[in-house]
């Protein structure tokens, strides 16, 4: 047994400070992203989710330029971006795509400029790389409490909005007929997503942020029937992927090329993708049956979901 | 600005803008902005991999762009499209993180890949760019009608026939080609702006597909020209001018179209 433990966890794993911070921050971000992500997948807003995490670059580089903490830059930019997308027309599914694209493009353009100024004026290069590919192991122990607090805020917002949000996400017509302020609920949800996603982009990089938002939720949508079990399943999958990724990345310091270590993002993303593909296999056996997918566009399935929601009121 | 060494830049950038304007029209009609973002950014990982094994960057971009296109088409068959795109993007970037972790690339080179470096365009890039530009325009001309029909149907009925998934793959591969040729000009992060903003603006102003495509090309070309000139004068990155310029063009088109009257006919037909 002891041999097995030392085979899986390389020596020093449990004593390492960076590993402890990575486990706490990664676990919290994975759990919140998974819960928020269930709605992202249902509402088809993966693009907005990814855009919000990438746009953090603008806030981060801008804040660096004026000398404020990057965290404020992230939060400010994501809130402004949500307002801009809403203003251009994120409500209609068609306009949404273009609205997100244009706000995203303008923000990335600004990021390019800020990063240029950062490198010329303040002589700091590679900020874009940190944002895109940032590593879990670089999370400092002092940011962990901030991560936990903001993640809890995002989670609380989603839970407060839970029922109206679910109804608005499955059938916005029915929701507005029942007096749910669909637009307001949508903005509230975008804010929760912006908070969760920009936080994770700030701490662990945009790749992992998007992967943790969409991957576990999409996998859970393939496996479970109700929104609540999808959230639990997604949380479990996300946390397992992050923890296993951390263990593998820690072990990889002993792999070739020696002393280099493989990036933790690579392992987490690969695991999430493997889960997603594996979850699709059982469905292939039950030929023609697609009814378990929460993200389905299949009308009877949606009607069933809506019926369950409205009936309980 | 118009001196000898800039001539190649002007030629390459104009070719990129023309193709991006045409492809952008289909991107906007299909609602594929996310794909237009994901393929170039994912292809960035290919560039990192190419420098690791010592091949030309263009090869890496092309291989990863095409691989991403095929992966999105395959994954997208069984699930929501945006989910498939997001997963393909993060898997490619995960590989990119691995390649970068192993290579010893300098930050400025990576920055140029991400945000573009027009002044670095040399005479040896004119040939490949023009070849790729003509290839993608030829492909689009060859499948123009079925592509247009499938783009409009995709949105209205969500029906997916074998034919429309073939068109999907063709469209994605064209985006991959545009990616490969456009990286030196605007960089991987901002190519999609060139495909989304001019076409989005054009669709607000023109109702017929032909007119919208021509207008989209015109806006894209003007945006790129202004961006290069401004970048040359200020030394600021081209990506900034392209990204913000695209948004300004779209905003002006929004104002313009509200004068002309509510939505163009094509819009009404598809929604």
- Range of B98's domain? 4-270
Interface contact A84, partner B, CB < 8 A: no
Compute the average pLDDT of residues B206-232: 91
Instruction: Tell me if B87 and A293 make a contact (CB, 8 A cut-off).
Output: no
Task: Measure the CA–CA gap between A209 and A60, rounded to whole angstroms.
Answer: 15
User: What is the number of other CB atoms lying within 10 angstroms of the CB of residue A265?
Assistant: 30
Instruction: Tell me if A214 and B196 make a contact (CB, 8 A cut-off).
Output: no
Instruction: Tell me if A102 and B85 make a contact (CB, 8 A cut-off).
Output: no
Residues of chain A contacting residue B37, judged by C-beta atoms under 8 Å apart = 47, 50-51, 101, 104
The answer to whether the beta carbons of residues A158 and A36 sit under 8 Å apart is: yes
Structural domains in chain B (count) = 1
Give residue A89's pLDDT: 67
Instruction: Tell me if A109 and B93 make a contact (CB, 8 A cut-off).
Output: no
The model's pLDDT over B132-182, given as tens digits with 9 standing for 90+, comes to 999 999 999 998 988 888 887 765 445 556 677 788 889 999 999 998 888
Give residue A306's pLDDT: 58
Instruction: Tell me if A210 and B155 make a contact (CB, 8 A cut-off).
Output: no
The Cα of A2 is separated from the nearest Cα of chain B by a number of Å equal to 31
Instruction: Tell me if B237 and A295 make a contact (CB, 8 A cut-off).
Output: no
Query: Cα-flanking dihedrals φ and ψ of residue B48, to 5°?
Result: -65, -40
Task: Measure the CA–CA gap between A32 and A149, rounded to whole angstroms.
Answer: 11
With H, G, I as helix, E, B as strand and everything else as coil, classify residue B237.
coil
The answer to whether the beta carbons of residues B200 and B217 sit under 8 Å apart is: no
The Cα of B243 is separated from the nearest Cα of chain A by a number of Å equal to 4
Q: Which of residues 174-213 of A touch B (CB under 8 A)?
A: 207-208, 210-211, 213
The Cα of A72 is separated from the nearest Cα of chain B by a number of Å equal to 22
Q: Which of B207, B216, B211 is nearest to B250 (CA)?
A: B216
User: What is the number of other CB atoms lying within 10 angstroms of the CB of residue A259?
Assistant: 8
CA distances from A60 to A78, A124, A180, B181, B238 (A): 11, 13, 36, 30, 20
- List Cβ neighbours of B188 (8 Å cut-off, separation of 6 or more): B40, B41, B43, B44, B47, B113, B114, B179
Interface contact A80, partner B, CB < 8 A: no
Tokens standing for residue A79: 């809130």
Instruction: Tell me if B101 and A125 make a contact (CB, 8 A cut-off).
Output: no
Q: Is it the case that residue B268 has pLDDT exceeding 60?
A: no
Please give the angle made by the CA atoms of A128, A129 and A134, to the nearest 5 degrees.
115
Peptide bond before A4: cis, by omega within 30 degrees of 0? Answer: no
Which candidate in A30, A42, A100, A106 is best for mutational testing of the B interface (most B CBs within 10 A)? A106
Interface contact A43, partner B, CB < 8 A: no
Instruction: Tell me if A50 and B86 make a contact (CB, 8 A cut-off).
Output: yes
Residues of chain A contacting residue B91, judged by C-beta atoms under 8 Å apart = 269-270, 273
Tokens standing for residue B258: 């509200």
Q: Is it the case that residue B61 has pLDDT exceeding 80?
A: yes
Q: Is it the case that residue B46 has pLDDT exceeding 80?
A: yes
- Among B91, B236, B247, whose Cβ lies nearest the Cβ of A102? B247
Residues of chain B contacting residue A103, judged by C-beta atoms under 8 Å apart = 247
Q: What is the DSSP string of A95-133?
A: HHHHHHHHHHHHHHHHHHHHHHHHHHHS----HHHHHHH
Instruction: Please name the residue that has the structure tokens 């809506």.
Output: A306
The answer to whether the beta carbons of residues A36 and A209 sit under 8 Å apart is: no
Tokens standing for residue B140: 């689009």
The model's pLDDT over B8-38, given as tens digits with 9 standing for 90+, comes to 888 888 999 999 999 999 999 888 889 999 9
Instruction: Please list the alpha-helical segments (H only) found in chain A.
Output: 2-8, 17-43, 46-66, 70-88, 93-121, 127-133, 144-170, 172-177, 182-204, 206-223, 227-251, 264-285, 299-311
The answer to whether the beta carbons of residues B73 and B174 sit under 8 Å apart is: no
With H, G, I as helix, E, B as strand and everything else as coil, classify residue B67.
helix
Instruction: Please name the residue that has the structure tokens 């990057």.
Output: A70
Instruction: Tell me if B155 and A94 make a contact (CB, 8 A cut-off).
Output: yes
Residues of chain B contacting residue A270, judged by C-beta atoms under 8 Å apart = 91, 94
CATH number assigned to the domain comprising residue B59: 1.10.3470.10
The answer to whether the beta carbons of residues A113 and B240 sit under 8 Å apart is: yes
* Average pLDDT per block of 10 residues along chain A, 313 residues long: 64 72 88 93 88 84 80 83 78 73 88 80 60 72 82 91 87 82 86 86 81 93 88 95 90 70 87 91 58 48 58 45
- List Cβ neighbours of B34 (8 Å cut-off, separation of 6 or more): A46, A47, A50, A97, A100, A101, B82, B85, B86
The answer to whether the beta carbons of residues A196 and A213 sit under 8 Å apart is: yes
Please state the length of chain B: 271
Q: What is the largest CA-CA distance in chain B?
A: 56
The answer to whether the beta carbons of residues B192 and A101 sit under 8 Å apart is: yes
Task: Measure the CA–CA gap between B238 and B240, rounded to whole angstroms.
Answer: 5
**Torsion, CA A230, CA A236, CA A242, CA A243, rounded to 10:** 180
Which candidate in A112, A116, A136, A265 is best for mutational testing of the B interface (most B CBs within 10 A)? A112
User: What is the number of other CB atoms lying within 10 angstroms of the CB of residue B54?
Assistant: 6
Tokens standing for residue A31: 């759990």
Instruction: Please name the residue that has the structure tokens 């830049």.
Output: B9
Task: Measure the CA–CA gap between B267 and A293, rounded to whole angstroms.
Answer: 31
Residues of chain A contacting residue B39, judged by C-beta atoms under 8 Å apart = none
Interface contact A58, partner B, CB < 8 A: no
Query: Cα-flanking dihedrals φ and ψ of residue B96, to 5°?
Result: -60, -40
Reduced DSSP (H G I as helix, E B as strand, rest coil) percent helix, strand, coil of chain B, to 5: 85, 0, 15
| pTM (global) more than 0.95 | no
Task: Measure the CA–CA gap between A166 and A154, rounded to whole angstroms.
Answer: 16
Q: Which domains does chain A have, with CATH numbers?
A: 2-311 (1.10.3470.10)
Interface contact A292, partner B, CB < 8 A: no
Task: Measure the CA–CA gap between B258 and B237, rounded to whole angstroms.
Answer: 33
Interface predicted TM-score (ipTM) of this complex, two decimals: 0.84
Residues of chain A contacting residue B193, judged by C-beta atoms under 8 Å apart = 101-102, 104-106, 108-109
Instruction: Pick the more confident residue, B223 or A44.
Output: B223
Give residue B139's pLDDT: 93
- Among B80, B110, B158, whose Cβ lies nearest the Cβ of A41? B80
CB-count exposure of residue B255 (10 Å: 0-12, 13-18, 19+):
exposed
The Cα of A230 is separated from the nearest Cα of chain B by a number of Å equal to 16
Instruction: Pick the more confident residue, A143 or B208.
Output: B208
Buried b (16+ CB within 10 A) or exposed e, A205-242: bbbbbbbbbbbbbbbbbbbbbebeebbebbbebbbbbb
Q: What's the gap between Cα A309 and its chain centre?
A: 26
């Amino acid at each position: 047994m002891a041999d097995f433990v030392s085979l899986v966890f390389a020596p020093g794993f449990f004593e390492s400070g960076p590993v402890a911070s990575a486990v706490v921050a990664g676990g919290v971000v994975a759990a919140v992203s998974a819960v928020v992500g269930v709605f992202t997948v249902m509402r088809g807003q993966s693009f907005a989710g990814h855009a919000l995490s990438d746009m953090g670059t603008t806030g981060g580089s801008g804040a660096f330029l004026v000398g404020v903490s990057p965290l404020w830059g992230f939060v400010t930019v994501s809130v402004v971006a949500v307002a801009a997308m809403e203003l251009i027309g994120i409500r209609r599914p068609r306009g949404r795509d273009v609205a997100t694209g244009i706000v995203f493009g303008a923000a990335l353009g600004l990021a390019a400029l800020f990063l240029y100024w950062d490198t010329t004026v303040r002589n700091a290069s590679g900020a874009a790389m940190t944002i895109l590919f940032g590593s879990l192991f670089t999370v400092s122990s002092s940011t962990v409490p901030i991560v936990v607090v903001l993640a809890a805020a995002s989670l609380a917002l989603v839970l407060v909005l839970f029922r109206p949000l679910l109804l608005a996400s499955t059938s916005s017509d029915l929701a507005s007929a029942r007096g749910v302020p669909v637009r307001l609920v949508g903005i509230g949800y975008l804010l929760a997503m912006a908070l969760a996603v920009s936080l994770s982009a700030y701490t662990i990089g945009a790749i992992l942020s998007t992967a943790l938002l969409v991957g576990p939720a999409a996998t859970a949508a393939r496996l479970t029937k109700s929104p609540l079990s999808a959230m639990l399943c997604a949380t479990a999958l996300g946390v397992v992927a992050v923890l296993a990724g951390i263990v593998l990345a820690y072990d990889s310091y002993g792999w070739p090329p020696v002393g280099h270590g493989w990036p933790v993002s690579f392992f987490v993303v690969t695991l999430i993708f493997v889960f997603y593909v594996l979850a699709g296999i059982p469905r292939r056996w039950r030929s023609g049956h697609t009814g378990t997918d929460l993200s389905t566009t299949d009308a009877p399935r949606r009607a069933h979901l809506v019926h369950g929601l409205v009936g309980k009121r | 600005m118009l001196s000898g060494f800039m001539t190649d830049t002007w030629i390459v950038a104009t070719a990129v803008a023309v193709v991006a304007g045409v492809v952008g029209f289909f991107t906007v009609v299909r609602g594929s902005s996310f794909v237009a973002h994901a393929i170039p950014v994912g292809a960035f990982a290919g560039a990192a991999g190419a420098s690791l094994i010592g091949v030309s960057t263009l090869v890496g971009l092309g291989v990863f762009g095409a691989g991403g296109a095929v992966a999105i088409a395959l994954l997208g068959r069984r699930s929501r499209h945006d989910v498939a795109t997001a997963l393909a993007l993060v898997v490619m970037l995960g590989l990119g993180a691995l390649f970068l972790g192993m290579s010893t690339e300098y930050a400025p080179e990576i920055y140029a890949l991400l945000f573009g470096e027009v002044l670095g365009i040399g005479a040896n890039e004119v040939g490949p760019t023009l070849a790729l530009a003509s290839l993608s325009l030829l492909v689009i001309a060859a499948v123009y009608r079925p592509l247009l029909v499938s783009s409009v149907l995709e949105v209205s009925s969500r029906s997916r026939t074998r034919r429309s998934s073939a068109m999907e793959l063709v469209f994605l591969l064209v985006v991959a080609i545009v990616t490969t040729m456009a990286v030196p000009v605007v960089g991987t992060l901002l190519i999609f702006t060139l495909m989304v903003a001019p076409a989005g603006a054009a669709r607000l102003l023109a109702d017929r597909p032909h007119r919208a495509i021509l207008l989209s090309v015109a806006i894209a070309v003007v945006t790129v020209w202004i961006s290069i000139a401004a970048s040359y004068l200020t030394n600021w990155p081209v990506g900034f001018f392209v990204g913000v310029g695209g948004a300004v063009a779209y905003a002006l088109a929004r104002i313009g179209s509200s004068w002309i009257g509510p939505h163009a006919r094509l819009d009404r037909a598809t929604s």
